[in-house]
A = this chain, B = another copy of it.
Amino acid sequence: MTPRPTLRPGGRSARVQQAVHTAVSALNDTVGREQLTIPLIAEHAGVTPSTIYRRWGSLRELLADVAAERLRPEAPLADTGSLEGDLMAWAGEFMEEMASRPGQQVMADALGSAGHEPRRRCHAWQCEQLALMLSRARDRGESALPEVDALIDGVMAPLIYRVSHAPETLCETRLRHWVRQALGSAGENFRATE
User: In whole angstroms, what is the CA distance A191 to B173 when docked?
Assistant: 8
Size bracket of the A interface: 35 or more
Q: Interface residues of A: mostly helix, strand, loop or mixed?
A: helix
Chain A 54-69 per-residue mask, 1 if CB under 8 angstroms from chain B, else 0? 0000001000000000
Select the stretch in A85-93, A131-139, A159-167 that faces chain B. Answer: A159-167
Interface hits, A78-128 → B, CB 8 Å:
104-105, 108-109, 111-114, 116, 119-120, 122-123
- A161 contact from B33, B161, B173, Cβ within 8 A: B161
A173 CB to nearest chain B CB (Å) = 5
User: In whole angstroms, what is the CA distance A17 to B122 when docked?
Assistant: 36
Is A156 located at the chain interface by the 8 A CB criterion?
Answer: yes
